[in-house]
Amino acid sequence: MKDITITTKFLSFDDVTELPSDVQDLMAKAVAIRKNAYAPYSNFRVGAAILLDNEEIVLGSNQENAAYPSGLCAERTAIFYTGANYPDAKILKMAISAASDTNPTLSPIPPCGACRQSIAEYEFKQNQPIEIYFMGESGAIFKSDSLKNLLPLTFDKNFL
């Protein structure tokens, strides 16, 4: 038996003013689109903004459904739209902001497991890391240089 240690590294910013200007803009778009979330069941709103290598910005918000799990998270809404409409574009950066209608969300809130796997698929597809920035409704922001920091043991096509 052997112990295996896996470490990850994130940058932490105290607030959006510390982010590079292009990421400030991307995060502002994630915060704005978060308001369009359809979240009557969880009252938890998430917005995602994706910057592509062609300079397009794709937005997504979570869309719930009474027939769980038929809804879709903001990150997957945005990334699947990207794949359908910009199949040859590379995803450079993703900004995510989450807020609850009932409780303050002041800590960085990362993508769920299903979203991590979906983002991983696009990182594999483009053979290039995706910078991921995530926050709550305000406060600190975490930056991951790659999805692999959030999901170090990824499942990909090489296992099939």
Binding site per annotation, positions for Zn(2+): 73, 112, 115
Q: Which amino acid would we find at residue 124?
A: F
H or E segment to which residue 78 belongs:
helix 74-85
- Crossing angle of the two packed helices 113-126 and 74-85, in degrees rounded to 10: 30
Active site residue 55: no
In angstroms, the CA 16 to CA 95 distance is 11
Closest CA to 44 of 63, 26, 60, 66: 63
Strand, helix or coil for residue 65? coil
Task: Evaluate the CA torsion angle 39, 42, 45, 46 in order and state its sign.
Answer: negative
- Active-site residue (options: 18, 75, 123, 137): 75
- For the annotated binding site for substrate, the residues are 62-68
Closest CA to 142 of 100, 106, 113: 106
Distances (CA, A) of 90 to 51, 123, 125: 9, 9, 9
Q: Could you give the residue numbers annotated as active site?
A: 75
